[in-house]
Amino acid sequence: MALLHSLESQGNWLFKRRGQIPVLLFLLAIPAVYVVNYDQLDPVRISIVNYSAAILSILGAIVRAYTIGTTPRGTSGRNTDQQVAESLNTGGIYSMVRHPLYLGNYLMWIGIVLFTQNFEFAIIVSLLYWIYYERIMFAEERFLEGKFGNVYLEWSKKVPAFFPKFSQFHPGETKFSMKSVLRREYSGILATVFGFVYVEFLIGWFKWNTIAVGKNLIYLFGITLLVTIILRTLKHSTKMLNEEGRS
Question: What confidence tier does 114 reach under pLDDT thresholds 50, 70, 90?
Answer: very high
Instruction: Characterize 95-108 residue by residue with b for buried, 16 or more Cβ atoms within 10 angstroms of its Cβ, and e for exposed.
Output: bbbbbbbbbbbbbb
Domain ranges of the chain: 3-175
Q: At 79, which amino acid appears?
A: N
To the question of pTM greater than 0.85 for the whole model, the response is yes
Percent of the chain with pLDDT over 70: 88
Question: What confidence tier does 61 reach under pLDDT thresholds 50, 70, 90?
Answer: very high
What CATH number should be reported for the domain whose range is 3-175? Answer: 1.20.120.1630
Q: Which pLDDT score is estimated for 167?
A: 93
Angle subtended by helix axes 119-148 and 100-114, to nearest 10: 170
224 pLDDT higher than 90 = yes
How many Å apart are CA 155 and CA 16, to the nearest integer? Answer: 26
Pick from 70-74, 79-83, 114-118: least confident: 79-83
Which helix (DSSP H) or strand (DSSP E) does residue 234 occupy? Answer: helix 215-237
Non-local (6+) Cβ contacts of 44 within 8 A are none
Kindly report the length of the chain. 247
Angle subtended by helix axes 21-34 and 119-148, to nearest 10: 160
8 Å CB contact between 145 and 57: no
How many Å apart are CA 162 and CA 175, to the nearest integer? Answer: 23
Q: Which pLDDT score is estimated for 58?
A: 97
Angle among Cα 224, 126, 28 to the nearest 5 degrees reads 65
Most confident range, picked from 9-13, 114-118, 206-210: 114-118
